[in-house]
Structure 1
Amino acid sequence: MTSTLSRVAPAREAAAASDLYRAVWRWHFYAGLLVLPFLILLAVTGALYLFRDEIDGFVHRDVKVVEAQATAQRQPSAIVEAALAAHPGTVFKYLPPATPTASAEVGVKTADLGKISVYVDPHDARVLGWIADKGSFIWVVRQLHSLAYFGPIASGVIEIAAGWTILLVGTGIYLWWPRQRRGSAAPGGVVTVRGQPRQRVFWRDTHAVTGLFVGFFIVFLAVTGMPWSGFWGGYVNQWANGNNFGYPAGVRVSVPMSDEHLAHAGPTTWSLEQARMPESAAQPGGPIGLDAAVAIFDRLGLAKGYAVNPPAGPSGVYTGSVYPDDLSRQRVVHLDQYTGKPLIDMSYADYGPLGKSLEWGINVHMGQEFGLANQLVMLAVCAAIVLLSVSAAVMWWKRRPRGSLGVPPMPTNAGAMWGVVVIMAIGGVIFPLVGASLIVMLLLDRLLTRKRRVQALRPL
């Protein structure tokens, strides 16, 4: 009797382990089915965006690059006048040259072309050309990366894809985890790749080993990309900024505030999207003008490459903002348009703990925080994501039965399946759109399982 029990217990343990493996494999398959196309798009566009300055400077070098000269640069007002003479309209931004070989950029809202960026040689005020505002090559890449071209629903898709990507990595690590294998003390497929490209085992090992080495970075990219999602990111942004007020607590000062938000004036950091703009108080002397505003921003020490947004109306302000690779030099300054007095001057040091953490994560995500090394590491991760996606597709194609989607089999014990679902549901509570998609996948899985059972019961 004892001998029989000793044989039954290991058999039950093996069956339970097999059921759990099948359940994890099944959800790993579903996660991959959902996110692999998005991962390829995000990896390719993300890899390009890592080198946005280099790529944009090369693609648009005819308007963005000028010859360095010893002569003094023209005043900002003269540069703006030249841009308006070529393209009449309303100025909504001005970017002084960031380097001796950079042109000045003037944002003009025109009647016939819409919003455009006019590039002017700062030495002789010669207009070099124009590009549609946010129409440069790298802006197109950025819009594709965020799926902004496809409307607000696509923003929710990004959030869902990020949540399922985390699930994909977690289940993938479980499937990779070395288990007892006969005949080999150091089995292949753990950190080495077996077989040849014509064999499925080669693609399986390539997929598993690549996922092992880049899994952490993929989760990092998914988590740090979440703040830009429309649903979760939007609500967390409002919560983090204190009931939609926006400014970090350290820079809340007693100045008149408008209902306009900083994000409406131009691109800004995630932490300041909800930041409200202060108001200017009218003075008898009139506005100080763009030349004086730029001189004040230079005197205050804003990092080169900053942008200036002119006042929007009599109560508006001059806003100087810069978001360089060095987080410590991020800064936004609002000037009273009549006195030139800084109304609010805020930097990365003024952000709260959550804002600092999220901005640091976003900076690393974008390849900025650690210079070229950051770019190269993230480029390698993007290449690995493409390899993971391609190897998964090849592996599935070689495994799938003819005429079938090839969904991994259900575990014998349905409890194993529900155990994995419960774990995933925790993530669904944190990320509601991911939870909603999980419910949809559960319903589809039940329909697929029921259909198979009905087909199996049909007489031949």
Structure 2
Amino acid sequence: MHAIASSPQPDHWRFYRAVWRWHFYAGLFVLPFIAWLALTGAVYLYQKPIDRWVHHDLKVVAASQAAPSLASAQVAAVQATSGGEAFRYTTPERADGSVEIAVLGKQGQREVYYVDPASARVLGHLPEKGTFSGVVRQLHSLDLLGGWASALIEIAAGWAILLVLTGVYLWWPRGRNGGVTSVRGSPGQRLFWRDLHAVTGVWVGVVLLFLALTGMPWSVVWGTQVNAWANGHDYGYPAGVRVAVPMSDQRLADTTTPGWTMEHAQLPASSVPPGQPPSADSHAGHEGHGGALGDLSPRTGAIGIDAALQRFNALGMAAGYAVALPRGPMGVYTASVYPERLARQRVVHLDQYSGRVLLDMGYADYGVLGRGLEWGINVHLGQQYGTFNRVFLLIACVAILLLCASGAVMWWKRRPVAGLGVPPLPRQRRTVAIVFALLCVGGVLFPLVGLSLLAVGIVDFALSGGWRRY
């Protein structure tokens, strides 16, 4: 309360009080989410080394000078062990890495088997997304809570943006020296925690704003709508690169985890040789969701996984690429890779019978919006700039946790005997209405955030007697 007590007359600070009120609400709602996202995000930054350590017996094999076994032999060994059908084959990213073969089980479950490429020996298996980093990513995105979790993330990200913008307004010096770049007082005083919160927030706020905005593409409403709009207007996955290619109803996301721009990309169709008419599953639409992937059995006349891998290697696919196997007589071999450097991101589709390249697309082929959002996502994941990117975001995550902790301590030290301790209203209720209207403008851009903002505004209006200060 020290900063308020020493402030000029309330008339000059009426907007400060109104903004402070909404900053309080934003912190109340999202600080637990922000702390959780910072903690899980910090762990996920180092997903690969952590997975190699946690799952060493599955992920790492002894280096061998001998020629690796055939991919078809590895797939056969996995199918014999699992009793299921392989639908994805992932090449090792490192020389001592194992091959990963995703299998659809008889009960519809998806599992990943790890194979020594030199001997075709099956090392073991995990559920799909069942690695340590896979679980951390699900915790980070709240996927374990169900389908509505992405809506919750969208709302939290929007309120985080509100938190940062209102926080910067509150931090603005206005002739003050303390609490701008320096921290006053001692840990026993609320002033210390107020200054620590302000100084930390203004520096890490830029990063938090970036992370919130670049996390939006995964959201259920905003992300889905922007993706559809971008791809529908050639700003994401341009139709111009595929107009001459017959397309199926199958989607890339059914068998692998593509980049944001390619989430709704359809697969091209193979040209079925004479004597092999398409079957009912050739245009199976979205049957890949929920387990079923259609007919995964090898087709007569198909080039096979060994020849497909040779073709992909000849095309210069980056190490660690995944190959989705054809589904049905019109299915294709699809190789996709999303390495740390965006320039090497690539998706290639082969006709399963002739081996002809049907579509070869990389980052440079995306539309301007697709490239911009993919860059933001890659930086968000700590990938684009290697070690510097990860270390910078790790420091930012620690600072965000400090920001959350200092905000909680600051509130605790000023909490009332009863109630939440909502900051007081300014004398002019019109001021609150103006600030609320400005915030609602942002709510138009992010609909779910706007609805939640409107709900809080109505409750606050009702409980405060029409934003009257008594």
Whole-Å Cα distance in 1 between the matches of residues 28 and 234 of structure 2? 37
Q: More deviation in 80-89 or 247-256?
A: 247-256
What is residue 5 of structure 1 aligned with on the other side? none
Give the superposition deviation at 1:227: 0.7
Note if contact 1:146-1:155 (Cα within 8 Å) is conserved in structure 2.
yes
Question: Which of structure 1's runs of 4+ aligned residues deviate more than 4 A?
Answer: 243-246, 451-454
Whole-Å Cα distance in 2 between the matches of residues 270 and 433 of structure 1? 20
Provide the aligned C-alpha RMSD in A: 1.9
Are positions 1:322 and 2:337 aligned together?
yes
- Pick closer, same or farther for the CA change 1:452–1:166 going to 2, 3 Å: closer
Are positions 1:254 and 2:244 aligned together?
yes
Amino acid at match of 1:58: W
Whole-Å Cα distance in 2 between the matches of residues 119 and 17 of structure 1? 66
> Which one of the candidate residues 174, 184, 187 is aligned to 1:197?
187
Note if contact 1:249-1:351 (Cα within 8 Å) is conserved in structure 2.
no
What is residue 19 of structure 2 aligned with on the other side? 24
Are positions 1:282 and 2:277 aligned together?
no
What is residue 432 of structure 1 aligned with on the other side? 447
Amino acid at match of 1:268: P
Note if contact 2:30-2:156 (Cα within 8 Å) is conserved in structure 1.
yes
Whole-Å Cα distance in 1 between the matches of residues 208 and 467 of structure 2? 35
> Which one of the candidate residues 301, 323, 333 is aligned to 2:348?
333
Give the superposition deviation at 1:243: 6.9
Give the superposition deviation at 1:21: 1.0
What is residue 314 of structure 2 aligned with on the other side? 299
> Which one of the candidate residues 136, 141, 165 is aligned to 2:160?
165
Whole-Å Cα distance in 1 between the matches of residues 142 and 389 of structure 2? 24
Amino acid at match of 2:432: M
> Which one of the candidate residues 364, 371, 381 is aligned to 1:356?
371
- Pick closer, same or farther for the CA change 1:27–1:324 going to 2, 3 Å: same
Whole-Å Cα distance in 2 between the matches of residues 452 and 296 of structure 1? 68
Give the superposition deviation at 1:49: 1.1
Give the superposition deviation at 1:418: 1.3
Are positions 1:238 and 2:228 aligned together?
yes
Whole-Å Cα distance in 2 between the matches of residues 88 and 17 of structure 1? 74
What is residue 367 of structure 1 aligned with on the other side? 382
Whole-Å Cα distance in 2 between the matches of residues 213 and 97 of structure 1? 40
Are positions 1:264 and 2:254 aligned together?
yes
> Which one of the candidate residues 31, 41, 44 is aligned to 1:46?
41
Note if contact 1:108-1:118 (Cα within 8 Å) is conserved in structure 2.
yes
Give the superposition deviation at 1:17: 2.0
What is residue 292 of structure 2 aligned with on the other side? none
SS state at 2:390 partner: helix
Q: More deviation in 196-205 or 116-125?
A: 196-205
May I ask how many residue pairs the two structures share in their alignment?
A: 438
Whole-Å Cα distance in 1 between the matches of residues 370 and 47 of structure 2? 24
Give the superposition deviation at 1:447: 2.6
> Which one of the candidate residues 88, 96, 117 is aligned to 2:91?
96
Gaps of 5+ in 2: 1-7, 275-299
What is residue 396 of structure 2 aligned with on the other side? 381
- Pick closer, same or farther for the CA change 1:371–1:304 going to 2, 3 Å: same
Amino acid at match of 1:332: V
Give the superposition deviation at 1:250: 4.4
Note if contact 1:367-1:374 (Cα within 8 Å) is conserved in structure 2.
yes
Identity %: 55
Whole-Å Cα distance in 2 between the matches of residues 123 and 191 of structure 1? 59
What is residue 7 of structure 1 aligned with on the other side? none
Whole-Å Cα distance in 1 between the matches of residues 29 and 45 of structure 2? 25
Q: More deviation in 195-204 or 111-120?
A: 111-120
What is residue 178 of structure 1 aligned with on the other side? 173
- Pick closer, same or farther for the CA change 1:238–1:45 going to 2, 3 Å: same
- Pick closer, same or farther for the CA change 1:313–1:243 going to 2, 3 Å: farther
What is residue 281 of structure 2 aligned with on the other side? none
Whole-Å Cα distance in 2 between the matches of residues 164 and 361 of structure 1? 19
> Which one of the candidate residues 369, 389, 409 is aligned to 1:394?
409
Q: TM-score, normalised by structure 1?
A: 0.92
Whole-Å Cα distance in 1 between the matches of residues 202 and 465 of structure 2? 35
Whole-Å Cα distance in 1 between the matches of residues 348 and 175 of structure 2? 62
Give the superposition deviation at 1:453: 7.9
1:329-371 CA deviation, whole Å, 9 max, x = no partner?
Answer: 1000010000000101100010000000000011111111111
Note if contact 2:236-2:371 (Cα within 8 Å) is conserved in structure 1.
no
Whole-Å Cα distance in 2 between the matches of residues 211 and 331 of structure 1? 38
- Pick closer, same or farther for the CA change 1:291–1:206 going to 2, 3 Å: same
Q: TM-score, normalised by structure 2?
A: 0.90
Are positions 1:229 and 2:244 aligned together?
no
Give the superposition deviation at 1:246: 7.3
Amino acid at match of 2:464: T
Give the superposition deviation at 1:178: 1.1
Structure whose residues are more often helix by fraction: 1
What is residue 415 of structure 1 aligned with on the other side? 430
What is residue 131 of structure 1 aligned with on the other side? 126
Whole-Å Cα distance in 2 between the matches of residues 409 and 150 of structure 1? 36
Whole-Å Cα distance in 2 between the matches of residues 262 and 245 of structure 1? 19
1:283-317 CA deviation, whole Å, 9 max, x = no partner?
Answer: 26710000000110000110000000000111100
Give the superposition deviation at 1:282: 1.7
Amino acid at match of 2:163: L
Note if contact 1:334-1:344 (Cα within 8 Å) is conserved in structure 2.
yes
Between Structure 1 and Structure 2, whose CA radius of gyration is higher? 1
Whole-Å Cα distance in 2 between the matches of residues 326 and 222 of structure 1? 22
1:70-120 CA deviation, whole Å, 9 max, x = no partner?
Answer: 111001001111111211111110012222100111111112582111101
Whole-Å Cα distance in 2 between the matches of residues 188 and 165 of structure 1? 25
